[in-house]
Structure 1
Amino acid sequence: MKTIVLSIIALLSAATSPAQTPVASPDPYRPVYHFTAPKNWINDANGLVYSNGQYHLFYQYNPQSAQPGHLSWGHATSPDLLRWTHLPVALTEYPGPEGSNIMIFSGSAVVDKDNTSGLFPAGKTDGLVAFYTGHQEKPGLVMAQHQNLASSQDGGRTWQRYAGNPVLDIGSKEFRDPKVFWYAPQQKWVMATVKADRQQVYFYESKDLKKWDFMSRWGRAGNTVREWECPDLFELPVPGGGTRWVLLISAGNPTEQFRGQQYFLGRFDGKAFTPDQPYEEPAYLDFGKDYFAAVTFNNAPDNRRLLVGWTNDWAYARDVPTGDEWRGNFAVPRELSLRQTSAGLALVQQPLAELRTLGKEALSLKNQTIKPGAAGLPVAFRGESYDLELIVKPGTATAFSLNVLESEAERTTLRYNVARQELTLDRTQSGNVSFHPMFASSLETARVPLQNGQLKLRVLVDKSVVEVFAQDGETTLTDLVFPRQHAGRISLRAEGSPVQLTQLRLTNLSQPAP
């Protein structure tokens, strides 16, 4: 089979500037434009809320080490989801009854602008109320999981746990992850939680954020291989008119051994969720191995629905080779919308629009034909943090592939099979893959039909994170990778017949946001 290689190896000397030159880092795997904590362990994003011009990102955090344990809520704020100010730990574990400890598991936060809770002084319109699962355990013994609240009058810097906690306790060890939001048509608060072991979502209502009444339950659809976690429920407009409610659930993965996330479209009447279809087969949010526990911001301006997910998998999360300083990061925030596709109404994810304000264009090509036997195109780039966009017309080619983070013996490969219309992400030769037997155990594959004979890809690469958005976000794949050689080359290979490279644009993001 004939192949042609488009090698993108080093910056064009005419285009090089200080802002475009990759910066040597003492930590080869800490991302530049993906969120990481200054140190220690992080997992799920929590309490995502916008207030007083700031996005608040709380997250599962171990203040003591880069391994899971002693879970608390870390805290950072940003005006644009790009530049972050790290703040002291917001909520920490505390002693419970009978010699137990209560860890601060996942949850959400709201702005109680009308002081429905009565927890704030008169006239206070920006008070924050956080809801978290109190995970009660003794060493080696889980005793209970229940829902609790805390309030803050100073923008989340300090918190007071409610004296009447827990506000919701059903006597279960598998009852967690409260997502609370305001339901305007009935002037009330709604809480979505999961009975994880039953793969069901439980819905509750409240007028004051403190007393919660059961409304309904729904579940056991789509992927039920693993327990359900981290529910989120929100409304999005449908193109052409009307709306649909979207229910997110963290559960199983298209590759069965891993965890992932699914979504359901339907209707919510303030009491119960009714899906549009039986969902006997899952609708997956992401087809990679490393996108989990994603939830959206409450109160985001302009009614934007912005999603933040953890880029890791519990199969090997404790073992990823980032060292003893830090472990864990988040994907670039994604803006959600609905779109009519060839398969019907679907949830679409696009990278945060503000990302385009970072970096400088390092490479731009149009209308290049890659012919069998040709020597390749005379352009070059080398780096490990960038935003790459390309449009390809495969024509009669059998397949083509894009290699990123490529060195002499290493590469992360995106390969498109034209006949099957399948996109595969392969990290089996990406570098350090031996730290856990499951890390490179299989490939990730998603069906991605051509549109007008074209495949459009946007690939966010950031040292140890690769996020792929195909066909303007109709399909996404997210994986961690750990290259050892760090040559940072890119190549495009066509198989069988010529491939038309309609457009290629690369933005160098090797400098952190100013």
Structure 2
Amino acid sequence: MSLPARDLAVAWRRVSCQNTTSSATSTYSQSDVPTGTPLPGNYVGPLRPQVHFSPPQGFMNDPNGMFLDADGLYHLYYQYNPTDVVAGNQHWGHATSRDLYYWTNQQIALFPGGPNEGIFSGSAVVDVNNTSGFFPNQTNGVVAIYTLNTPERQTQDIAYSYDGGYTFIKYENNPVIPSNSTQFRDPKVFWHAPTEHWVMVIAYCVDFEIGIFTSPNLIDWTPTSNFTRHGTLGLQYECPNLVEMPMDGSNSTMWLLWISINPGAPLGGSITEYFPGTFNGTHFAAVDAATRLTDFAKDNYAGQFFGGIPGGQNQISINWASNWQYTNVVPTGDEGWRSVMSLPRENYLTNLTRIGYALISKPYNISRVVESELAYNSSLGNGTVFVDYSSVPSGALYFEANVTGLADSSSVDGSVNFTFTSSSTGESISGGTFLASGDIWLNRGNTRWENPYFTDKFSATGLYDGAGAWRISGVVDRSIVEVFLNDGELSASSVFFPSAPLDQMVLSVKGINEITTTSVGVWALSSSWLEQGGVNGTVVGNITERGNPTVARGVKSFQ
């Protein structure tokens, strides 16, 4: 991750952490940042999403260290400034979930070591076989690998956790990868079983290189290869991922290298691109030279895949749903927080007609938060569905429209369009798809927040593959919309900021061929955050004794 320079001079206090197998180590925290307890957050504001993750207060950006533990609990860490609603003062925030929708805010996991340090992006792994030597009597020890940022350099450090990832002790012999560069960051680490070693991918940012390192123990690292100057360069590479995932229609897997670029995205600011290919434990080779983007809108960056999911299964990702061009000034700061994560996404690779290799990215198990059906018509044909959802507490909806019975390309005609509107102000967001051209579009321009970089219209083009169906679906959640074409062949993530809540939806189908059938549905989504809040909407998070989590009143237990 990259940040603008800012004054980090603050009052600091020293906190000692004891560990049972080594001498005392130290961490630091600011006087106004709590240790050992999560920060509370108010989740009732009109712009606060209810099925997406956002921080309790302060500023959040890149997801970090995501993994699924042996007990089925998902851990999400994230770049976090707990003292302001702008980027800087980097800690690792932490939240956990059983289903990736109902989150529990945990205490801050990693703190900088002084006023000129930042805990930048990285990853976390479960060291099941104790390769590090930190965990002689357990199989659930967690090692965090992160970039320590100072004005002079960026180095790669590690910290270890005896309690499953809630509290960490910094390794006394850090850094594990020294550096004199200020542009060397964002390590992503995973275990490569065929070669029985750990692998790290990391960005040499302004050199447009992804370095690949290996290690037997998470401490001693050896550089093995570089992946250099592929795709859209922008002005720097950041936040790489290398992950094995299924190839649709076969029993084989492929590898995918994921690189975020900022600034310099085609639409401005930040975006993520990906490269399918092969990996032998030390070298990655892309299948071709094509540039493939993860999103056709502007708010999808620095995503991470959860560790702990076998390569033969569909992989799960979460992305930061913002853009560095305007993230520090969006109006959610008036509610005491800034930035939101994308929906959890289910991912696999496929081979699309004419296009070739493509990443499928669609909502993961959205049925988990479906609360009630608001509208459904299995044979709408050419028609319109109107939904008043002003009484839905979450203000969040899932919708889909399926055109089936298509034959050859001559039958592919018509359009499906949607509009979400505020009944009090007339503000709206809208989108849709034209079947004949394959175009999908999204417009957030009819809301009243303006910024010179806040591009308002987006589009992309898909191709009909002759399979007889065309589908558009999406989730709208107070101040973020995510739209998907054909089960995730294309997707768009976009924040928006109306001055009053959107509360009405119109979904219309026009010009569809008479031999086809159109089914549409709209569902209200439940709110994980409203269920956790007290009488004033404040979510207190998980009150934890180290290694023995307990949950405060009103908060869902993850036990």
- TM-score computed with the length of structure 2 as normaliser: 0.80
Gaps of 5+ in 2: 1-42, 532-559
Pair 1:480 & 2:498 matched? no
Aligned to 1:76: 95
1:210-359 equivalences under 5 Å are 210-238=219-247, 239-251=249-261, 255-279=266-290, 282-300=291-309, 303-324=313-334, 325-342=336-353, 343-353=355-365, 355-359=367-371
Work out the CA distance in 2 between the residues paired with 1:464 and 1:166. 40
The question of whether the paired residues in 2 share the 8 Å contact of 1:363 and 1:381 is answered with no
Pair 1:421 & 2:438 matched? yes
Aligned to 2:128: 113
Q: State the 1:361 CA deviation.
A: 1.9
Higher deviation after alignment, 52-61 or 102-111: 52-61
Work out the CA distance in 2 between the residues paired with 1:235 and 1:511. 33
Q: State the 1:379 CA deviation.
A: 6.5
Q: Secondary structure at the match of 2:378?
A: strand
Q: Secondary structure at the match of 1:114?
A: coil
**Closer/same/farther in 2, CA of residues 370 and 185 from structure 1, 3 Å limit:** same
**Closer/same/farther in 2, CA of residues 357 and 411 from structure 1, 3 Å limit:** closer
**1:124 aligned partner, one-letter code:** Q
Q: State the 1:478 CA deviation.
A: 0.4
Work out the CA distance in 2 between the residues paired with 1:467 and 1:502. 21
Aligned to 1:34: 52
**1:191 aligned partner, one-letter code:** M
The question of whether the paired residues in 1 share the 8 Å contact of 2:438 and 2:464 is answered with yes
**Closer/same/farther in 2, CA of residues 246 and 312 from structure 1, 3 Å limit:** same
Aligned to 1:459: 474
Work out the CA distance in 1 between the residues paired with 2:402 and 2:281. 43
Q: State the 1:310 CA deviation.
A: 0.6
Q: Secondary structure at the match of 1:185?
A: coil
Aligned to 1:184: 193
**2:307 aligned partner, one-letter code:** N
**1:432 aligned partner, one-letter code:** R
Work out the CA distance in 2 between the residues paired with 1:304 and 1:398. 33
Work out the CA distance in 2 between the residues paired with 1:220 and 1:259. 17
Gaps of 5+ in 1: 1-24, 138-142
The question of whether the paired residues in 2 share the 8 Å contact of 1:102 and 1:134 is answered with yes
Q: State the 1:404 CA deviation.
A: 2.2
**Closer/same/farther in 2, CA of residues 379 and 131 from structure 1, 3 Å limit:** closer
The question of whether the paired residues in 1 share the 8 Å contact of 2:126 and 2:141 is answered with yes
Work out the CA distance in 2 between the residues paired with 1:242 and 1:414. 36
Question: After TM superposition, what 4+ stretches of structure 1 lie above 6 angstroms from structure 2?
Answer: 496-501
Work out the CA distance in 2 between the residues paired with 1:361 and 1:415. 21
Q: Secondary structure at the match of 2:194?
A: helix
Aligned to 2:401: 390
Identity %: 33
The size of the alignment, in residue pairs, is 472
Equivalent residue for 2:461, pick from 437, 443, 447 = 447
The question of whether the paired residues in 2 share the 8 Å contact of 1:390 and 1:501 is answered with no
Pair 1:153 & 2:165 matched? no
Q: Secondary structure at the match of 2:117?
A: strand
Q: State the 1:46 CA deviation.
A: 0.4
**Closer/same/farther in 2, CA of residues 148 and 396 from structure 1, 3 Å limit:** closer
C-alpha deviations, 1:76-99, integer Å up to 9, x for none?
11122122221111111112xxxx
**Closer/same/farther in 2, CA of residues 101 and 261 from structure 1, 3 Å limit:** same
Higher deviation after alignment, 305-314 or 488-497: 488-497
Aligned to 2:528: 512
Aligned to 2:536: none
C-alpha RMSD of matched pairs (Å): 2.4
C-alpha deviations, 1:316-373, integer Å up to 9, x for none?
00111113411111111111112221122221112111544541222211111326xx
**Closer/same/farther in 2, CA of residues 241 and 494 from structure 1, 3 Å limit:** closer
Q: Per chain length, whose mean CA-contact separation is higher, i.e. which structure has more relative contact order (CA < 8 Å, sep 6+)?
A: 1
- TM-score computed with the length of structure 1 as normaliser: 0.86
Q: Secondary structure at the match of 1:323?
A: helix
**1:255 aligned partner, one-letter code:** P
Aligned to 2:19: none
Work out the CA distance in 2 between the residues paired with 1:294 and 1:207. 26
